[in-house]
Structures are given as structure tokens and as C-alpha cells.
A and B are shown apart, each in its own frame.
Chain A
Amino acid sequence: MQADPVLTNLRKGVLEHCVLAVLRDDEVYGVDLAHRLVEAGLLASEGSLYPLLARLRSADMVSTRWQESPSGPPRRYYRLTPAGLSAVDRFIDIWRPFSRAVDTIFERTS
């Protein structure tokens, strides 16, 4: 099913920072990260995560490391770099007052 264009544009604007936010507290392997974002309704399909992770790796916001898995081959874990941590902290500082302002406007007009 085709997503609403408004939702698609909103996702595009916040998705990179949402990936960084998921990685903020702990490193996560790709499948787990994709499942979390799909379940949250932020990712249309799991495959869309990988162009985004590749860009974040190229921009040195995210790094990877291999870790043995108890149930199969080693897994690649993604984690934040110091630059990624600063970027997500800055986004959160901007996002909170921005979303409150939008909510306030919508509450007044509803």
C-alpha cells in the first residue's frame, strides 16, 4: 500500500535522527534496528534502512563492529560515534520545542 505523501515527507525529515536516537543508549544489530523502526511506523520497509545507515557511516555518525551471536554467524552491530551523539542531542534540543509549538497550533485550531 502506498504511504500518504505527507507521512513520507515527515518520515524523511526525522528518520536519520530517529536511527541515531535508537542507537543513543546501546549498540544494535541491523535486523533488530529495522524491526524497531518498522514497528514504530517510521520505516516503510526494512530494506530502506540500509541506504540510510550507509550514509550515516559515510558521514562518520555511526560505526560498526562484529560480535559473535549465540544463534548463528557473527552479527554487525551499529553504534553512535561522538559526532552522532552530538547530532542527536542537538536534534532533540530543537525537536522538543518545535513539536510543542506544532501541537499548540493544532490544539488551537481543532
Chain B
Amino acid sequence: MTVTAQDPAVRSYLKTLHTLLEGAPDQELVVDGVRQHIIDALGPEASDPARVRDVLHELGDPAAIAADARTSTNPIQLPFLQRRSGAILTVLLLTVGAFIVPVAGWIVGLGLLWFSTGWTLVDKLTATLAPIVLTVLSLGLAYLFTPFPAHLGLLGGFALGSIGAAVFLLARFREGGRAHVA
């Protein structure tokens, strides 16, 4: 949405801020936020020079805002396993990884799953046991219906279980972690 600030003092303030923020992170977001603040703060008194002066004074020196933008600490960064990208890696290891590096890929995926706080204990148990239970069931069926090849039962059961667990995990993941995992 385009917003405008027509007063010469406002235009000058925003232009100075924009120049001072040259090369700083989030330059456009900061200027846009300040511009919107001015418009909201002025409201229907947008043409009153005294009100404009007050609003700009309360905002503070553009140099101070630019200094804040340049010197502030890093933004809050979630640990990798609490971010969506961490969840996707975990799920990939539990599915594709298990077939690329048999057994080891799946075990590493399990390690990430159990260290993550983005899932509850019940979620973790379900995702761990589903491929095992389905593999055992498939092997049982393969045994009952011989000459159905056992390795197809093994692969089919595990694939079905791990894909189901992956869909379940992605639906249950909560970015940033669950405060009280249970």
C-alpha cells in the first residue's frame, strides 16, 4: 500500500533518514515504518506545522534511528532444530536419507527428531514406531503369502511407515519449539 507524507518538513526528514540508512539492513522497511508512523500520528492534523514539528521531535533525530539500525544486536534467531528448515531436514533424513544411506540416514534423522523441541513426546514416539511397526507387519504378510519376496515387504512397509510419519511430523511441527513438551 502506498502512503504519502506531503509536508516539506516530513519529506525532508524521511529523505535524510533514507540517505543515512544507505547500505544499512532493512533500509526500506525502516523508512516505510517511520513514514507510516508519521501519517498515523498526524491523522487529520497533517497540515498543522506545530503538530508536524511535535511528531518529528518525538520520533527523534534521524541520525539516532540510522545508528540504531546499524549497531543493533543480531535479530532473534531460533536454533536450527526449532526452525522449519530444521524440521524439513529431519523429515528428509527419516525418509529419503534412510534409502540413500540405509539405516545410518534414518538413525541420524531420529537423533534430530529427538533433540528437537518442535514436537511433543507423543509425536516423536509415533514417528519413530510407525516405520518399525509397518515393516514388521509387512514382513509378517510377506511370510504368510510366500512366495511374496521378503525384501519387498521390508522396503514397502518401511517406505509406507516413514512417508506417513513424515506427513504427520510436518503437520505437527511447531516453529520455535513447544514450551512444555509432553
Partner-B contacts on A (CB < 8 A): 12, 16-17, 29-31, 34, 38, 44-59, 61, 66, 69, 71-76, 82-87, 89-90, 93
Contacts and interface: CB of A to CB of B under 8 A. Distances in A.
A3 B78 CA distance: 31
Contacts of A45: 58-61, 64-65
Q: Which of the listed residues B59, B83, B176 has the most CB atoms from chain A within 10 Å of its own CB? A: B176
Interface residues of B, number: 38
A22 B57 CA distance: 24
Interface stretch (B40-48, B107-115, B150-158): B40-48
A90 B25 CA distance: 26
A51 B71 CA distance: 10
23 contacts: A29-B40, A31-B37, A31-B41, A34-B37, A44-B60, A44-B64, A45-B59, A46-B60, A47-B34, A47-B62, A48-B68, A49-B33, A53-B29, A55-B25, A55-B26, A57-B26, A58-B25, A58-B29, A82-B175, A86-B178, A89-B176, A90-B176, A90-B179
B73 interface: yes
A73 B3 contact: yes
Interface of B: 1, 3, 25-26, 29-30, 33-34, 36-37, 39-41, 43-44, 58-62, 64-65, 68-69, 72-73, 75-78, 82-83, 174-179
A29 B39 CA distance: 12
